[in-house]
Amino acid sequence: MGKLGVSVYPERSTYEKDAAYFDLAAQYKFKRVFTSLLEIKGDQDAVVNNFKKVINHANALGMEVMVDINPALFKQLGVTYDNLAFFHDLGAWGVRLDEGFTGAEEARMTRNPYGLKIEVNMSQGTHYIDNIMAFSPDRNNLLGSHNFYPHRFSGLGQAFFEQATALYTQYRLNTAAFITSQAATFGPWPTQDGLCTLESHRNLPVETQVKHYQLMDTINDVIIANAYASEAELKAAHDAFFAAYPVVKVVPAADMTPLEHTVIFENDHSYRGDRSEYLLRSTMTRVKYRDRDFPAHNTKPITRGDVLIDNEGFGQYKGETQIALQDMPNDGRVNVVGHLHPDEAFLLSYLKPWSGFKFEEATL
């Protein structure tokens, strides 16, 4: 099972605020913490001691702190790749290398005496990870995580994301990616329009971003990159991450009947495996409700993402639930009872045949 995470930036906030955020996040089973030590300005000891205090609070809650670092800081701190005692003393669970070495150094770092995790950047799309694997790392201590992108329109595209991720999943390494909170106000840099890995996520609710990663099934850990997410967002992310089945938001049609509401929102659904190019079929509702009446109404032309129930005119199919996979004419035998929420319509492409799912009522 993967983990949820939050991020803090001690240089841009206070210990009290970070500690309170950890307390709240821990209530919702957040286990990972991302923080960055990319540069140290001013009093080095004061900065390091503040980081240590923040990390100690996270550790006391059973959280795991990954510290993002770049090679320049190694020199500033007097740290070398074969002596990671500084990070062990800091209380870190692991070190994320913002920029890498040649492969041999990373492999050697995974065999450090402290059991520190070494996390490398998955967003490069190069065969960097192959170089590391060639030097026989301890793969239990080797992790990958994508970058996040504060600049609007600079985040990863879906196709490149999948290509870059596949370079890591082939080695069965733990993977992580970042989502953005819509309530948070800052990240590690002064300017940010949200902090996400995938550009398509930038304006989406946290739960929708989480669902997308869960449905892709290639990312283990999902981390909120900016601070501070609201409690409502922490709960929503938790509920989506730990849900037994994907839950897709549906906006009901204005004339949805009470029975149709029950069929859609109070049943578990399953994507029938002998699939059609036109319909995602959830057939058990026609069995469960075969003795109920489904009179025809709202039999308008069908568009992709419409949620459908076959009406009386469809004989033995009466009561079957479907989602339209493409636009179709409606001959009057199908009731259009709702539509996938615009934020989540794209998730339709990720639902898999023979998989279970649920619908959640939503409003525009």
pLDDT tens string for the chain (364 positions)?
899 999 999 989 999 999 999 999 999 999 999 999 877 877 888 889 999 999 999 999 999 999 999 888 888 888 988 999 999 999 999 999 988 889 999 999 999 999 999 999 999 999 999 999 999 999 999 999 999 999 999 999 999 999 999 999 999 999 999 999 999 999 999 889 999 999 999 999 999 999 999 999 999 999 999 999 999 999 999 999 999 999 999 999 999 999 999 999 999 999 999 999 999 999 999 999 999 999 999 999 999 999 999 999 999 999 999 999 999 999 999 999 999 999 999 999 999 999 999 999 999 9
Give 29's contacts (C-beta < 8 A, 6+ positions apart).
4, 238, 242
Q: How far apart are CA 355 and CA 273, in angstroms?
A: 8
Strand, coil or helix: what is 183? coil
What is residue 99's predicted lDDT score, i.e. its pLDDT?
A: 86
Please give the distance of CA 252 from its chain centroid, rounded to a whole number.
Answer: 26
* Residue 42: per-residue pLDDT: 79
pLDDT at 161: 98
Distance between CA atoms of 308 and 347, rounded to whole angstroms? 17
Identify the pLDDT of residue 172: 97
pLDDT at position 100: 85
Sign of CA dihedral 30, 219, 178, 210: negative
Q: Can you list the domains of the chain with their CATH numbers?
A: 4-243 (3.20.20.70), 248-361 (2.40.100.10)
Burial state string for 281-307 with b = 16 or more CB within 10 A and e = fewer than 16? bbebbbeebeeeebeeebbeebeebbb
How do beta strands 356-361 and 269-270 pair? antiparallel
What is the pLDDT, as a whole number, of residue 129?
97
Separation between Cα atoms, residue 304 and residue 325, nearest integer Å: 5
Q: Is the whole-model pTM more than 0.85? A: yes
Residue 17: the pLDDT is: 98
**Whole-angstrom distance, CA of residue 222 vs CA of residue 179:** 7
DSSP alpha helices (H): ranges in the chain? Answer: 15-27, 44-60, 71-77, 85-90, 104-109, 128-134, 158-169, 206-216, 231-241, 258-265, 284-288
